[in-house]
Amino acid sequence: MDISQEAARGLTDIESFLYRQAHLRAARQRVLGFTARMRELSPEQKADIEVWYIEEQIYVAGMVTRHIADRVSAAEERYRRRFGHWLRGALSAAILLTAATAVYVILTARG
């Protein structure tokens, strides 16, 4: 892996981390707002709800991050295949052009 690929991977990791942190920060605010309105819950019940909700949101954030990473990987693979196909076609055309030029030069040199 060269430096640009490592840098791109590092940026992707940072982006994923920041996404998760923002998602979890918003989740904490939502659950704290919810449990604050529930006066009939005991402090232990509120804590249990908060822990459960945050754990669930960690799982969801991980799923979303993996989904995004999978989509990016699939798009990169499609691009790589298309570029490979184009490159093979360009190489074939260059070989044919070179062969035609060689045949033309040989035929004009004889006659």
Convert the pLDDT of each residue in 29-72 to its tens digit: 999 999 999 889 899 999 999 999 999 988 888 888 788 888 98
- Taking a C-beta distance cutoff of 8 angstroms, is the pair 46, 35 a contact? yes
Contact (Cβ atoms closer than 8 angstroms) between residue 9 and residue 62: no
What pTM, to 2 d.p., does this model score? 0.56
Residue at 88 is within a domain = no
Residue 22: domain span: 3-81
Q: Is residue 29 part of a domain?
A: yes
On average, the pLDDT of the chain sits at 88
Count: domains in the chain: 1
99: in domain: no
| Residue 48: inside a domain | yes
Cα–Cα dist 63/67, whole Å: 6
Q: 45-49, 62-66, 79-83, 90-94: which has the minimum mean pLDDT?
A: 62-66
Q: Which two tokens stand for residue 77?
A: 């693979």
Residue 19 lies in a domain: yes
Q: Give the pair of three-digit tokens for residue 58.
A: 């960690």
Q: Is residue 42 part of a domain?
A: yes
Is 54 within the bounds of a domain?
Answer: yes
